[in-house]
């Protein structure tokens, strides 16, 4: 789906972000709004325990400076036209999606006025963040279901259309913690034009309007670039046989590193140091 | 360590090979000896339950045609010079290492007469197989310890010298089942001249004397080729920070596919079909 160039920021979190110690990622979310005391809309659609989830995030985000945290408890398609909710989504400095089931987000919000308000908020320069299911739903195609700790297989992977905020990628979360390289490889193999991005727990990518992302948090982001694939048997193999995929390019990026989604090139700390405003990069023998 | 060109076959198994249904991998081991009723030496050094392990494999290997299965219960360095054991290792058509702790194998057998007998058996054209710990020990450097389902980290990975039967690679086992891509990446990053080979459960590589391997079993083999690495922070990062590694080449190979360890090139089923003795490769629309 083609759309006007996004002007906002996406913060895509691999789940289980730290809520007790440094709170690095949630602080990054608040900071990205550009305000010390932003208004936050908290979308609880993914979870079956919306009130509980809202309490947790209201507490923390308020502690971190949020002026107001408005829970948006949309749990059915009927709720999506509620004018109060739409107003809040349109006016909030940042929108945060809690975790749960990404299929709840897409099946309840997809194509509604609320969805439209969220897209417009993003295009107008606001910050949209999501954790776990709230991360998966960001892309046009999302992983809905797949086995953890398994070789790549067609039969165990289910995908569905996501919320379409980020084009050309497919996100997976809880990545190394749940052993999800197999399912992300199986998601990329059908069409290597899509970039696979696996985000660890307590780790996030911050995507700017030029489609550069940088990594924050305690884990890593694993990028699977299938453009170099020489061979895959995905179109011929039986559903329950494991996939063959050769010559996939892989990048592992911890905090401070980044990636350009368009050009598919990593951004290292050295690249920053080479910046005229950066510090000298002194090498030391040891 | 440089050595005369190996003439034998290595069968390196990712653990938990099927012992009840098709027994594909254990059949492959018997077949690789080139005899219908081979003499097998069963090395139980890796395990703390050698008698129990021996019973399991004696039963199955006998069912599959082995004439004799001699348990080699070497559990201390004193046992390694036992002339009966040495004779059996020297004369067996195939040697099979059971699973357990790879550090037991290397610390008990390393540099002994038994080790020498195993190497000579391999060089003279016999089959050496090992599962799980018995797989890890095959290479010159082996993974001894590391966390499962974790981002690549220096601090949690421990390596040690292995039994040196296979040069230029580092093996990991129970690969997708335990989420070990992180630890294998951390093992390859220090020196990308070493090829990382992650073998799933009930899956094996059969390595011939030209250093081609083919894959057998129900899972996949994940090959990590670091030669293309553009950047890693491994020499500068703090021990407990996750690694950055960019531009790693990855191959996923199920049963029937293979790889040349020297040239680092995959061998697909198509390569076989292109063989003049192979069948035509007819494409079908569907």
Comparing CA positions, the residue from B183, B157, B242 lying closest to residue A203 is: B242
Residue B68's pLDDT band (cuts 50, 70, 90):
very high
Residue B83's pLDDT band (cuts 50, 70, 90):
very high
What is each CA distance from B39 to A171, B35, B105, B130, B154, in whole angstroms? 52, 9, 22, 16, 43
Q: Which residues, other chains included, contact B135 with Cβ-Cβ below 8 Å and sequence gap of 6+? A: B12, B13, B14, B15, B171, B173, B199
> A242 and B233 in contact by Cβ < 8 A?
no
Quick check: is A145 in a domain?
Answer: yes
> A231 and B266 in contact by Cβ < 8 A?
yes
pLDDT of A239: 75
**Partner B, chain A 85-144, Cβ-Cβ below 8 Å:** none
Quick check: B43 and B96 in contact, CB under 8 A? Answer: yes
Identify which of B230, B249, B254 has the shortest CB distance to residue A241: B254
Q: What is the pTM of this model?
A: 0.90
Domain count, chain A: 1
> B248 and A246 in contact by Cβ < 8 A?
no
Q: The tokens 């690095």 sit on which residue?
A: A24
Minimal CA separation from A99 to chain B, in Å: 21
Determine contact: A217 vs chain B, CB below 8 A: no
CA-atom Rg of chain B in angstroms: 19
Comparing CA positions, the residue from A146, A69, A163 lying closest to residue A108 is: A163
Burial of B82 (0-12, 13-18, 19+ CB in 10 A): middle
> A220 and B254 in contact by Cβ < 8 A?
no
The whole-angstrom separation of Cα A158 and Cα A46 is: 18
Quick check: is A271 in a domain?
Answer: no
Minimal CA separation from B32 to chain A, in Å: 24
> B176 and A182 in contact by Cβ < 8 A?
yes
Pairing state between β B39-43 and B68-72: parallel
Quick check: A72 and A89 in contact, CB under 8 A? Answer: yes
> B247 and A242 in contact by Cβ < 8 A?
no
Measured in degrees and rounded to the nearest 5, phi and psi for residue A241 equal -90, 150
Minimal CA separation from B178 to chain A, in Å: 6
pLDDT of A227: 95
Quick check: is B273 in a domain?
Answer: no
Determine contact: B247 vs chain A, CB below 8 A: yes
Q: What pLDDT tens digit does each residue of chain A (286 aa) get?
A: 445 565 899 999 999 999 999 999 999 999 999 999 999 999 999 999 999 999 999 999 999 999 999 999 999 999 998 999 999 999 999 999 999 999 999 999 999 999 999 999 999 999 999 999 999 999 999 999 999 999 999 888 999 999 999 999 999 999 999 999 999 999 999 999 999 999 999 999 999 999 999 999 999 999 999 999 999 999 887 778 899 999 999 999 999 999 999 999 999 876 654 444 434 444 444 4
Quick check: is A22 in a domain?
Answer: yes
> A254 and B241 in contact by Cβ < 8 A?
yes
**Partner B, chain A 49-78, Cβ-Cβ below 8 Å:** none
Residue B278's pLDDT band (cuts 50, 70, 90):
very low
The whole-angstrom separation of Cα B216 and Cα B280 is: 23
Catalytic residues of B: 132, 150, 174
Q: Considering only CB atoms, which chain A residues are within 8 Å of B253?
A: 244, 246
Q: Considering only CB atoms, which chain A residues are within 8 Å of B182?
A: 176
The whole-angstrom separation of Cα A10 and Cα A197 is: 14
Quick check: is B211 in a domain?
Answer: yes
pLDDT of B4: 58
Determine contact: B196 vs chain A, CB below 8 A: no
Determine contact: A147 vs chain B, CB below 8 A: no
Chain A residue with CA closest to B221: the answer is: A151
Determine contact: A182 vs chain B, CB below 8 A: yes
Comparing CA positions, the residue from A65, A60, A125, A138 lying closest to residue A99 is: A138
pLDDT of B6: 60
Neighbours of A60 (CB within 10 A): 19
B21 pLDDT higher than 80? yes
The whole-angstrom separation of Cα A277 and Cα A273 is: 8
Quick check: is A200 in a domain?
Answer: yes
Tens digit of pLDDT for each residue in B216-272? 999 999 999 999 999 999 988 777 889 999 999 999 999 999 999 999 999 987 665
pLDDT of A3: 53
Give the 3-state DSSP-derived string for chain B, with helices as H, strands as E and coil as C: CCCCCCCCEEEEECCCCCCCCCCHHHHHHHHHCCCCCCEEEEECCCCCCHHHHHHHHHHHHHHCCCCEEEEECCCCHHHHHCHHHHHHHHHCCEEEECCCCHHHHHHHHCCCHHHHHHHHHHHCCCEEEEECHHHHCCECEEEEECCCCCCCECCCCEEEECCCCECCEEEECCCCCCCCHHHHHHHHCCCCCCEEEEECCCEEEEECCCCEEEEEECCEEEEEEHHHCCEECCCCCCCCCECCEEEEEEEEEECCCEEECCCCEEECHHHHHCCCCCCCCCCCCC
Quick check: B188 and A162 in contact, CB under 8 A? Answer: no
Determine contact: A244 vs chain B, CB below 8 A: yes
Quick check: is B221 in a domain?
Answer: yes
Q: Considering only CB atoms, which chain A residues are within 8 Å of B270?
A: 231
Write out the H or E segment, with its range, that includes residue A189. none
Quick check: is A15 in a domain?
Answer: yes
Angle among Cα B50, B54, B60 to the nearest 5 degrees reads 155
Q: Tell me the angle at which helices A113-123 and A102-109 cross, rounded to the nearest 10 degrees.
A: 100
Tell me if residue A251 falls in helix, strand or coil: strand
Burial of A5 (0-12, 13-18, 19+ CB in 10 A): exposed
Q: What is the CATH number of the domain that holds A75?
A: 3.40.50.880
pLDDT of A236: 82
* A to B CB pairs, distance under 8 Å: 137
Q: Tell me the angle at which helices B50-63 and B24-32 cross, rounded to the nearest 10 degrees.
A: 80
Structure tokens at A105: 């987000």
Chain A residue with CA closest to B227: the answer is: A249
Determine contact: A266 vs chain B, CB below 8 A: yes
Instruction: Give the domain extent around B122.
Output: 9-263
Structure tokens at B66: 């082995």
The whole-angstrom separation of Cα B31 and Cα A68 is: 71
The whole-angstrom separation of Cα B246 and Cα A252 is: 6
What is each CA distance from B36 to A273, B31, B94, B120, in whole angstroms? 65, 7, 12, 23
> A257 and B244 in contact by Cβ < 8 A?
yes
B203 pLDDT higher than 70? yes
Q: The tokens 């491994």 sit on which residue?
A: B234
Tell me if residue A115 falls in helix, strand or coil: helix
Neighbours of B95 (CB within 10 A): 25
Catalytic residues of A: 132, 150, 174
């Amino acid at each position: 789906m083609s759309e006007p160039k996004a002007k906002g920021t996406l913060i895509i979190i691999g789940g289980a972000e730290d809520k007790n110690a440094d709170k690095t990622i949630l602080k990054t979310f608040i900071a990205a709004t550009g305000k010390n005391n932003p208004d936050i809309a908290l979308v609880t659609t993914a979870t079956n325990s919306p009130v509980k989830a809202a309490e947790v995030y209201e507490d923390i985000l308020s502690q971190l400076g949020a002026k107001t945290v408005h829970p948006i408890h949309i749990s059915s398609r009927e709720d999506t036209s509620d004018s109060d909710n739409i107003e809040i989504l349109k006016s909030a400095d940042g929108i945060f999606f809690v975790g749960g089931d990404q299929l709840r987000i897409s099946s309840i919000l997809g194509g509604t006025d609320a969805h439209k308000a969220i897209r417009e908020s993003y295009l107008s320069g606001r910050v949209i963040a999501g954790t776990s299911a709230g991360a998966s739903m960001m892309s046009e195609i999302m992983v809905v279901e797949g086995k953890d700790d398994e070789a790549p297989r067609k039969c165990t992977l289910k995908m569905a259309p996501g919320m379409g905020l980020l084009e050309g990628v497919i996100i997976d979360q809880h990545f190394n913690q749940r052993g999800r390289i197999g399912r992300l490889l199986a998601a990329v193999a059908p069409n290597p034009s899509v970039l696979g991005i696996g985000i660890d727990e307590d780790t996030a990518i911050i995507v700017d309007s030029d489609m550069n992302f940088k990594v924050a948090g305690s884990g890593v982001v694993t990028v699977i670039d299938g453009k170099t694939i020489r061979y895959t048997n995905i179109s011929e193999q039986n559903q329950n046989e494991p996939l063959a995929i050769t010559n996939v390019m892989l990048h592992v990026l911890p905090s401070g590193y980044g990636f350009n989604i368009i050009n598919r090139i990593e951004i290292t700390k050295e690249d920053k140091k080479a910046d005229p405003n950066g510090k000298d990069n002194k090498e030391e023998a040891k």
